[in-house]
Amino acid sequence: MHMRRYSCAIIILFFFAIACKHKEKQTVVSKAPAKKTHAGKPQSQGTPKGAYETLKQTVGLSKKEVDNSELYTFVGKWYGVPYKYAGCGRSGVDCSCFSNILYEQVYNKKIPRTAGEIYSICRKKSLDDAREGDLLFFKISGNIISHVGIMLRKGYFVHSSTSRGVVISSMQEAYYKKYFYCAGEVRNS
């Protein structure tokens, strides 16, 4: 009985350890990080210019559309925040915590902490059926869900990349096509 509990605990720790800890291809839509304040930290008010330019170029949004959308304002404020394994703040954030914070602040929904746990509470759907705000799941580290991002418009998604931090990437990139598993919509509780 004790060995079974011990084995389960090891398995759970293993899955937590590999969640979002993978090596991504180093391609991004824009290399411009979020505008920094004199203290070197991302701005907390308004959409930084670099983030707005990226949203304009990739997703085709006007400044007014960005400023009038909670989702795109949030993306703009977090754009360029560095990746940090198990990080959950502006000094560094991993993919699942970024998704967690976005869902809580933009959609007023609490979702689990790890990519695999988030996947387990979603209604699965294809990429063709994915809408803005849906979650995108990837199997990059073997046969488990190891990365998560949030769908934007026109085939783009936002996520915390291990190599570039919070960025906007395209689902048309060969790397993401290769590892994409499915989209998901958070079920209403």
List active site positions: 95, 147, 159
Q: What is the 3-state secondary structure (H, E, C) of the chain?
A: CHHHHHHHHHHHHHHHHHCCCCCCCCCCCCCCCCCECCCCCECCCCCCHHHHHHHHHHHCCCHHHHHCCHHHHHHHHHCCCCECCCCEECCEECHHHHHHHHHHHHHCCCCCCCHHHHHHCEEEECHHHCCCCCEEEECCCCCCCCEEEEECCCCEEEEEECCCEEEEEECCCHHHHHHEEEEEEECCC
